[in-house]
C-alpha cells in the first residue's frame, strides 16, 4: 500500500514539474503565437510574461483568440469575427454552416470608365490582384482562388447580368463561404497635360577658300499630349447571412497615366476586418 501511495505521489510531483516547465501559449487573432506565462486574467485583459523574462505585458482580450495553459486546458476568448457581433438579418438568420466557416470568396470586380461599363478583363484582373494580396495576409482564413470562384458562379448560372438577382446568402451557399468580397474600380478621365518641343538646325556651306556660299536651316515641332486618370476603388464585404461588415471607398492620391488601381485597392484591403498582418 505504501509503495502504491509513493508511486502516486512521485507521479503527481513529476507532472507538477512538467507543468511548470511547459509554457502557456497565447494565440492572438492576427495569428501571432506567444509563449510564456499568463500571470493574471482580468475582465478586459491578461497579464503575460515571455519565457526567460520577468517584464510583464498587458494584452487586451479582444486581441486574443485562445490560451493553451501549461496544464493543457484551453481557454477561448475570441474569434476573428465573433458570432455575437454578426449583424442581424431580417431575411435569413440561419446559422453559419460548418463548411462555410472562415472561408472567403472574391467576386469579379465591376469596372466603370466614366461611369460606363468598362472592360470585363479589368474586373477579372482586379479580382486576381485582390486574391494575391489578401492571400499573404489571411491567417486563419481560406480564400477560394478566382478560377474556382468564377467556375462555380458560371455553373450556377450567376452571370454578371444576373448577379443582382442573387442575395449574398445565395452566393455564399453556392460558393460554400462565410465571407464575400464585392468590389468595383471606377476610372474617370482627369486633366490632360501637353508639351511642345521645337528643334532647329542651321547649316553653313563654305567653299575651299572658307568663303560662305550659302546658309540653310531646318526646324521641326513636336506636340505631346498625356491623358491622366482619376481612379477610385470600393470594397463591400458581406457575411453568409446577408450582413454587411465593411463598406469603404478610396481614391488614388494622385492622378496617373495608366489608370492603376493597386494603391487604393491595397489601402482598403489593409483596413478590412479580414486582413491579418
Which DSSP string corresponds to 36-97?
EEEEEE-SSEEEEEETT---EEEEEGGGEEEEE-TTS-EEE---SS-GGGSPP-SS--PPPP
Kindly report, residue by residue over 9-48, the tens digit of the pLDDT.
555 555 454 445 789 998 877 677 889 999 998 888 899 8
Whole-angstrom Cα Rg for the chain: 32
- Domains (ranges, CATH) in the chain? 2-76 (2.30.30.100), 83-189+226-270 (3.40.50.10610)
pLDDT at 82: 43
pTM to 2 decimal places: 0.54
Q: Is the pLDDT of residue 92 over 80?
A: no
Amino acid at each position: 500500500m505504501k509503495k502504491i501511495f509513493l508511486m502516486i505521489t512521485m507521479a503527481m510531483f513529476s507532472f507538477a514539474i512538467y507543468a511548470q516547465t511547459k509554457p502557456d501559449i497565447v494565440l492572438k487573432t492576427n495569428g501571432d503565437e506567444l509563449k510564456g506565462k499568463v500571470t493574471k486574467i482580468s475582465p478586459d485583459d491578461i497579464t503575460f510574461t515571455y519565457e526567460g523574462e520577468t517584464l510583464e505585458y498587458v494584452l487586451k482580450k479582444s486581441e486574443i483568440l485562445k490560451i493553451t495553459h501549461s496544464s493543457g486546458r484551453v481557454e477561448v476568448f475570441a474569434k476573428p469575427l465573433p458570432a455575437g457581433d454578426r449583424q442581424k438579418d431580417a431575411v435569413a438568420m440561419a446559422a453559419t454552416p460548418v463548411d462555410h466557416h472562415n472561408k472567403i470568396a472574391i467576386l469579379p470586380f465591376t469596372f466603370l470608365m466614366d461611369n460606363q461599363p468598362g472592360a470585363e478583363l479589368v474586373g477579372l484582373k482586379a479580382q486576381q490582384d485582390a486574391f494575391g494580396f489578401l492571400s499573404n495576409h489571411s491567417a486563419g482564413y481560406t480564400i477560394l482562388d478566382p478560377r474556382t470562384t468564377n467556375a462555380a458562379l458560371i455553373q450556377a448560372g450567376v452571370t454578371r447580368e444576373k448577379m443582382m438577382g442573387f442575395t449574398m446568402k445565395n452566393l455564399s451557399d453556392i460558393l460554400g463561404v462565410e465571407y464575400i468580397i464585392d468590389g468595383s474600380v471606377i476610372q474617370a478621365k482627369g486633366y490632360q497635360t501637353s508639351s511642345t518641343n521645337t528643334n532647329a538646325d542651321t547649316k553653313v556651306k563654305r567653299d575651299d577658300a572658307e568663303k560662305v556660299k550659302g546658309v540653310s536651316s531646318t526646324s521641326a515641332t513636336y506636340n505631346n499630349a498625356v491623358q491622366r486618370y482619376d481612379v477610385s476603388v470600393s470594397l463591400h464585404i458581406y457575411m453568409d447571412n446577408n450582413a454587411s461588415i465593411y463598406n469603404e471607398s478610396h481614391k488614388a492620391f494622385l492622378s496617373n497615366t495608366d489608370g492603376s488601381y493597386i494603391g487604393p485597392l491595397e489601402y482598403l484591403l489593409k483596413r478590412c476586418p479580414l486582413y491579418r498582418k
